Structure formats: C-alpha cells, structure tokens
Amino acid sequence: MKKGSRKKRYGQMDEHEMPTEPLPDISIYPYSQNPSVNAGRYPHYPSLPGAPLETNYGGWSTTAWGPGNTKKQHTRQRWVLPACVSLFFLCVQLLLIVRFGINFLHLSPTIAWVSVVNGVSAVFVLPFQVLWSQIPWVGPLVPTNMEIYTLVAILIYGVLSRLLVGILKALLKSR
C-alpha cells in the first residue's frame, strides 16, 4: 500500500513551527525617550558619577587623527615591514611553484615567459641546487624533470619567512 504524499497547503501552519512559550513584550527601555513609561518593569539603578570626556572604556576612539595623535600612526608603521617581508617570501614561493610546474610539464624554454620565470627563479634555487648536487645517492632515484630541490627551496623559504616575520614583529613591538 502506497502512502499518499503529505504536502502542506499554502498558509497552513504545522505544530512544530509554533513557539513553545509566549513571547514577552519587547521594550527598548535604554533607548526610550520617555523612560517613565517602563519605570515599573526595570529595577532602579543608582546613577554613576560622570567620567571625564577623554576616558574611553573599551569603546571606539573619538580622538581625531592629527599631529597630536602620533601613537596610532607610529604603531601602524611598525607592521609595514613584517608585511612586506612576508609578501616578498610569498612571491618567491609562488615563483618557485611556477618553476616546478614548468619543469614538470617539460615546457619549452623558448617561450618568453618560461625563460623569464626560469631566469628569475634561478637566483633563488641556486643554493639548494648546489647543496642537492652534493648528495651522491639522489641522482638515479629521481627523474631528470623532477626538481626536488625546488620543492625543498619552497619549504625552506616558507619556514624562513615565518621566522623572519616573527622576529621582526617581536623587535618592533618592543620599541
């Protein structure tokens, strides 16, 4: 026996969509222009003494940017150098990833952008290529188009980036 589909008709409410408890009347007492209307609902709190105008208890700063407020401008300049160092190493890593892809896919070095990428990235790969050639047992294990030292360079530049940025942040924060 096949059950008939139970489709809800438009406008028909299911008992699962109804609230379980009645909602209280919502009042905007702290923002009301006439607090005497809701005075009986809320307990009376004593008024606090006024704070000086320049006191800011965790709220937004109301001071204007200007020559008198150089502290915030100075802290903003402290984070520029670590961000630039991080961006530089990110670009180097992306360049090395492109180089690895070019060599893995055997793209022709006569293509202009391939020769530019290989020429620029050769500067960053050279130390790792020299160190990699000193290991005697690596030669026959790895195909010629697989530049494993490029992958090692990507990893080392990533670690070096994290270390340098962390040191720069620590040094500039201590000023």
- Tell me the per-residue pLDDT of 68-99, one tens digit each, with 9 for 90 and over: 555 555 555 677 889 999 999 999 999 999 99
Report how far residue 144's alpha carbon sits from residue 108's, in angstroms, rounded to the nearest whole number.
Answer: 15
- Which range of residues forms the domain containing residue 152? 79-173
Q: How many residues comprise the chain?
A: 175
Q: Which pTM does this prediction carry? A: 0.54
What pLDDT score does 132 carry?
84
- Neighbouring residues of 81: CB distance < 8 A, sequence distance ≥ 6: 168, 172
HSE at residue 139, side-chain half, CA atoms within 13 A, is 5
Examine residue 95 and state whether it is found in any structural domain, yes or no: yes
Q: What is the pLDDT of residues 95-122, one digit of tens each?
A: 999 999 999 898 888 999 999 999 999 9
Examine residue 117 and state whether it is found in any structural domain, yes or no: yes
Domain count of the fold of the chain: 1
Q: Which spans in 22-138 are helix H?
A: 70-78, 80-104, 112-133
Examine residue 47 and state whether it is found in any structural domain, yes or no: no
Report how far residue 152's alpha carbon sits from residue 139's, in angstroms, rounded to the nearest whole number.
Answer: 16
Q: What is the pLDDT of residues 18-48, one digit of tens each?
A: 667 666 666 555 555 555 555 566 555 555 5
